[in-house]
Amino acid sequence: MSLAVRAAEIDTGYALVEASLGLEHLAASFVSDAAYFIYASKRWNIWPKLESLALTSNILDPQQQSVYINDFLEAVALVAIKMPRLKSMELWNGRAGFAGVFQYQLLEIDPTAKITWRGTWDVPLEPRVQKVWQAVTSERLDCKLKVVTEILDADVVVTSYGDAIRHLRLLNTVVHPVSLWQIQEETAC
């Protein structure tokens, strides 16, 4: 990646953070890596309105060592603590050959909270990651965090990020349904 491209992604990360400060919901797929959003988030203390966040990250890749993915998920939790109204967060990635999502979900009705790894490969969520996400949960509800891992069946075929979206069962709308259909039609040809 060239220095100019990286600088543009960092700038986009800052712009997403600034925009999200006044939003209730933000879904941005492949606009800027979630890592740049997290990096840029260090400058702000609180997101007073944000309830849902869905971002993509190239860190979520089967070629990446799970320790680095866990480092990333720990850093994300430290930002999520600054989002007092957060009910769902999804960090996902997918393209030909793989799909993966990390989800945080807070259900005030039960009350329950859970973090989920769902993907075509396993990412063991380390105790340190579980602990910091429990802290995120404890800021909002008095309940124990559930940790869920779901490995997609071996017969699941992912040929595009459109397939990834469908198989990952994302909580938030990250693409308009008509656009998703078009993506899947184009990659089927």
pLDDT tens sequence across 58-74:
999 999 999 999 999 99
Q: Is the pLDDT of residue 141 over 80?
A: yes
Q: Is the pLDDT of residue 9 over 90?
A: no
Q: Is the pLDDT of residue 156 over 90?
A: no
What mean pLDDT do residues 107-130 have? 93
Instruction: Please report which confidence band the pLDDT of residue 174 belongs to, taking 50, 70 and 90 as the band edges.
Output: low
**Tens digit of pLDDT for each residue in 99-114?**
999 999 998 778 889 9
Query: In the chain, what percentage of residues exceed pLDDT 70?
Result: 85
Q: Is the pLDDT of residue 180 over 50?
A: no
78 within 8 A of 104, measured Cβ to Cβ: no
Asked which of 5-14, 104-113, 170-179 is least confident by mean pLDDT, the reply is: 170-179
Cβ contacts of 44 within 8 Å, gap of 6 or more? 17, 21, 82
Q: Is the pLDDT of residue 135 over 80?
A: yes
Structure confidence at residue 183 (pLDDT): 47
The residues pairing with 166 across neighbouring beta strands, listed in sequence order, are none
More confident call, 77 vs 139: 77
What mean pLDDT do residues 153-157 have? 84
3-state secondary structure the chain: CCHHHHHHHHHHHHHHHHHHCCCCEEEECCCCCHHHHHHHHHHCCCCCCCCEEEEECCCCCCCCCHHHHHHHHHHHHHHHCCCCCCCEEEEEEEECCEEEEEEEEEECCCCEEEEEEEECCCCCCCHHHHHHHHHHHHCCCCCCEEEEEEECCCCCCCCCHHHHHHHHCCCCCCCCHHHHHHHHHHHHC
More confident call, 111 vs 53: 53
Global confidence as pTM: 0.86
Structure confidence at residue 28 (pLDDT): 86
Structure confidence at residue 189 (pLDDT): 53
Instruction: Please report which confidence band the pLDDT of residue 163 belongs to, taking 50, 70 and 90 as the band edges.
Output: confident
Closest CA to 164 of 115, 91, 106, 105: 91
